[in-house]
Chain A
């Protein structure tokens, strides 16, 4: 796989094809190529000195120029760090400070946003030229204004401004994505070009072939600061597809969202399971309306049987593919097609089998300097990932890197491994099951309880579509479990709560049944479209 070559071929052969479309505008492959050449040229000429080695923050939302900026930094040989506007300002500034680059590219005005929130900062802003704002010694570049002011718009022939020698090398860091991190400072996961290309060798062949994906339409739901977006964006880009990107506001109006997806004939749905579960509340979210939808590709959190079954009913012609992977091993490393047979055979949906080039070990035990102990089949352990898509570590964070990225002795050889902090097991056929974060295992009255286990049992109750279980702590000690459920059939009354508790007691031990049941209209979701556990913690 060669990302740059693939896009260039597409720009030459199918230059007019739309590469990206959102409500904020669109770009063709040729425009993407040309504008990214211009961005690259500008970066090479201006982002110099110490800034040459430091990553470039690219800020914005679902603007077509995001892609041109990403690709521009790749061609200029620079690492980029995508930051979506859904992040709070404090965190954005924290990232800008961490990467230590005097230049930030923006496709919407971050300076204005910062000043709006804190008018006192306005005094610190200096407008240098049509496209440069300087604040706290950082230059914020308005990409759109830059392209208008400094370059000519060419959309009939291929522009070549930067030499191939400037391009990012195979071992260079392609992007840095800051993970939300459950505690403390966010960690910048560094993914090299070769890791990304190894991932794409596989992702372009998931579901169907790269040839079949050519010219097709991919949904982009995830913000660019969440690496699920890499799945849709780069798979589409290197396959010669078209991205249909939906902005935050559109995502909150499901009826309008369905209409937009219908008009743009999306073929590959890529999102978190929670986002699809939310869409299921809209009756028009079905095959009759979305005739061209052929594949659902999920990643980022657990896919429930409930959601899968409903999707199968609504979309009889579509295939559902579940994938798994932490940001630290480039988007995803396992996959499986979810079929009716699979749903009938298994208690929960597996994450499937490893991709070519990856091996997942279920670690029972490990001691430094000794061969690791692998769990037997069906035995639970920590998922440890080996292979050709591992991150090289967290940006400027040796402590956290050393904690998660270790060299282990496996089959007598020293190999680099990423310790995921996820619990799971392999069955006798090597099919992998994910059980949740190790830290979602709690102790209540002396019992060890897997919160994810309760959640998956809750969604087995046919009236319940989504569930989240949160421990309620008093002075740091877990006193009680609270279950938040979404149901279109149950009301917020005692009979419903009693019904849920009774149903649950038939499936799991009494000590695991949450004391408190809260019926919600809608599951709170994070900006990335995952269940927002942190927010619910404040509700218990």
Chain B
């Protein structure tokens, strides 16, 4: 699961740093813009069958690879 999310993130951000630094701030670093963010939610749904609606979390709560992984994990439990 973690690997899949990192694949999605690397694809969307275009940079493998998302694997190397799980705590990198994707928003601050300009790696994930709003368009990418909505795509991220769509990809998580289609690849992992986990639905995260844009209203339930703010972008700030999903601003690092680790936080995104944790969020998906919590949804799966």
Is there a chain A Cβ closer than 8 Å to B30's Cβ?
yes
Please give me the residue from chain A that is nearest to B17 by CB atom. Answer: A494
Q: How far is the CB of B47 from chain A (nearest CB, A)?
A: 14
Q: Which of A482, A502, A514, A515 has the most CB of B within 10 A?
A: A515
Contact B20 A494 (CB under 8 A): yes
Is there a chain B Cβ closer than 8 Å to A445's Cβ?
yes
For this complex, into which size category does the number of interface residues on chain B fall? 10 to 19
Contact B17 A482 (CB under 8 A): no
Contact B20 A515 (CB under 8 A): no
CA A498 to CA B21, docked complex, whole Å: 14
Contact B14 A515 (CB under 8 A): yes
CA A149 to CA B20, docked complex, whole Å: 68
Count contacts between A and B, CB distance < 8 Å. 23
CA A445 to CA B12, docked complex, whole Å: 14
Q: Which of A445, A502, A510, A514 is B14 in contact with, Cβ under 8 Å?
A: A514
Q: How far is the CB of A185 from chain B (nearest CB, A)?
A: 35
Is there a chain B Cβ closer than 8 Å to A388's Cβ?
no
Is there a chain A Cβ closer than 8 Å to B13's Cβ?
yes
CA A505 to CA B29, docked complex, whole Å: 13
Is there a chain B Cβ closer than 8 Å to A437's Cβ?
no
For this complex, into which size category does the number of interface residues on chain A fall? 10 to 19
Please give me the residue from chain B that is nearest to A502 by CB atom. Answer: B30
Is there a chain B Cβ closer than 8 Å to A44's Cβ?
no
Is there a chain A Cβ closer than 8 Å to B35's Cβ?
yes
CA A515 to CA B33, docked complex, whole Å: 11
Q: Would A480 and B15 be within 8 Å (CB), given that A445-B35, A494-B20 are in contact?
A: no
Contact A482 B29 (CB under 8 A): no
Q: How far is the CB of A446 from chain B (nearest CB, A)?
A: 10
Contact B14 A516 (CB under 8 A): yes
Q: How far is the CB of B31 from chain A (nearest CB, A)?
A: 9
Contact B14 A480 (CB under 8 A): yes
Contact B17 A501 (CB under 8 A): no
Contact A498 B29 (CB under 8 A): yes
Contact A516 B15 (CB under 8 A): yes
Q: How far is the CB of A234 from chain B (nearest CB, A)?
A: 46
Please give me the residue from chain A that is nearest to B30 by CB atom. Answer: A501
Q: Mark B25-37, 1 if CB is under 8 A from A, else 0.
A: 0000110010100
Q: Which B1-56 residues sit within 8 Å CB-CB of chain A?
A: 12-15, 17, 20-21, 29-30, 33, 35
Q: Which of A445, A494, A501, A517 has the most CB of B within 10 A?
A: A494
CA A516 to CA B18, docked complex, whole Å: 13
Is there a chain B Cβ closer than 8 Å to A262's Cβ?
no
Cβ contacts under 8 Å, A498 to chain B: 29
CA A494 to CA B13, docked complex, whole Å: 12
Contact A515 B29 (CB under 8 A): no
Q: How far is the CB of A226 from chain B (nearest CB, A)?
A: 34
CA A501 to CA B15, docked complex, whole Å: 11
Contact B14 A494 (CB under 8 A): no
Contact B35 A497 (CB under 8 A): no
Q: How far is the CB of B8 from chain A (nearest CB, A)?
A: 13
Contact B17 A515 (CB under 8 A): no
Cβ contacts under 8 Å, B30 to chain A: 501-502, 505
Please give me the residue from chain A that is nearest to B24 by CB atom. Answer: A494
CA A510 to CA B33, docked complex, whole Å: 10
Q: Mark A509-539, 1 if CB is under 8 A from B, else 0.
A: 0100011110000000000000000000000
Contact B35 A515 (CB under 8 A): no
Q: How far is the CB of A480 from chain B (nearest CB, A)?
A: 6
Cβ contacts under 8 Å, A480 to chain B: 14
CA A516 to CA B13, docked complex, whole Å: 7
CA A505 to CA B20, docked complex, whole Å: 24
Q: Which of B15, B21, B33 is A497 in contact with, Cβ under 8 Å?
A: B15
Cβ contacts under 8 Å, A515 to chain B: 12-15
Cβ contacts under 8 Å, A517 to chain B: 14-15
CA A494 to CA B35, docked complex, whole Å: 22
Contact B20 A482 (CB under 8 A): no
Contact A482 B15 (CB under 8 A): no
Cβ contacts under 8 Å, B15 to chain A: 494, 497, 515-517
Cβ contacts under 8 Å, B21 to chain A: 494
Please give me the residue from chain B that is nearest to A515 by CB atom. Answer: B14
Contact B14 A482 (CB under 8 A): yes
CA A510 to CA B32, docked complex, whole Å: 12
CA A442 to CA B20, docked complex, whole Å: 32
Cβ contacts under 8 Å, B20 to chain A: 494
Q: How far is the CB of A120 from chain B (nearest CB, A)?
A: 44
CA A484 to CA B41, docked complex, whole Å: 29
Please give me the residue from chain B that is nearest to A481 by CB atom. Answer: B14
Q: 6 more A-B contacts (CB under 8 A) besides A515-B12, A517-B15?
A: A480-B14, A497-B15, A501-B30, A510-B33, A515-B14, A517-B14
* Interface of A toward B, CB cutoff 8 Å: 445, 480, 482, 494, 497-498, 501-502, 505, 510, 514-517
* Interface of B toward A, CB cutoff 8 Å: 12-15, 17, 20-21, 29-30, 33, 35
Q: 3 closest A-B pairs (Cβ-Cβ)?
A: A515-B14, A516-B14, A494-B17
Q: List 10 A-B contacts (CB under 8 A).
A: A482-B14, A494-B20, A497-B17, A498-B29, A501-B30, A510-B33, A515-B13, A515-B14, A515-B15, A517-B14
